[in-house]
Structure 1
Amino acid sequence: MLRRKGNLQSLAGLLDIPQDIVMDLPRITMLGNKQLLVENHKGIIEYTPSLVRIKLSQGELMIYGEALTLGNLQSEQILVEGVVQEVKYDI
């Protein structure tokens, strides 16, 4: 399995393809503490105004904060808005 990942990383580098696409990795973009965009996710596990848990290909992403809302829900991306206080990636 590790060898396959190494081969995929090498191939991505040679072809100048982003590794998140080749290796099924999430792309997480944060704008201050007001917005967090998660691309390449596998679904929402839990949603409350103080916690959003998102399933990833390897583990989950936990977003803690205040007045959290979900916007721009698409099959491949989720926009979390509100006051983001902590982001935790659990494998």
Structure 2
Amino acid sequence: MKKFRQQIKRWITQNMELPADVMMDLPRITMIGQIHIYIENHRGLLQFSDTELRLLLKQGQLLIKGEQFVLRTMLPEEILLEGKIAQVLYLDEPGK
């Protein structure tokens, strides 16, 4: 049943030209060079240090690595991170 719902959402998104991030509950990530990253539609902050940020997503996690990280904005579903960004990685949920 879960796969059927995903297929319906994907079909609606493609055929009705609706934004995929809204219909499929995907994160929207906007980067400005290596110094800013703005993430919308996440499920929560899991870890933060001056070299690493880890966010929970609907499917897995988002890991950002770099240096001199500072959280400029933190709202329930939005984060603005500033610093020198070296890597942005998607991590699959264990067991899937």
Q: CA offset at residue 59 of structure 1?
A: 0.7
Give, in whole Å, the separation in 2 of the partners of 1:76 and 1:46: 15
Which residue is 1:75 aligned to?
Answer: 76
Determine whether 1:7 maps to 2:8: yes
Write the letter of the residue equivalent to 1:33: Q
Where in structure 2 are the equivalents of 1:6-85 lying within 5 Å? Answer: 6-85=7-86
Give, in whole Å, the separation in 2 of the partners of 1:73 and 1:16: 30
Q: CA offset at residue 3 of structure 1?
A: 2.3
Give, in whole Å, the separation in 2 of the partners of 1:75 and 1:62: 18
Q: CA offset at residue 13 of structure 1?
A: 2.4
Give, in whole Å, the separation in 2 of the partners of 1:56 and 1:69: 21
Q: How many residues of Structure 1 are paired with residues of Structure 2 in the alignment?
A: 91
- Aligned with 1:9: secondary structure? helix
- TM-score, normalising length: structure 1: 0.93
CA shift digits 1:18-49 (9 cap, x unpaired): 01101111111111110111110011001100
- Aligned with 1:83: secondary structure? strand
CA shift digits 1:37-90 (9 cap, x unpaired): 111001100110001111111111111110011112112210111000111110
Query: What fraction of aligned residue pairs are identical, expressed as a percent?
Result: 35
Which aligned segments of 4 or more residues in structure 1 are displaced greater than 3 angstroms? none
Superposition RMSD on alpha carbons, in Å? 1.0
Instruction: Identify unmatched segments of 5+ residues in structure 1.
Output: none
Instruction: Identify unmatched segments of 5+ residues in structure 2.
Output: none
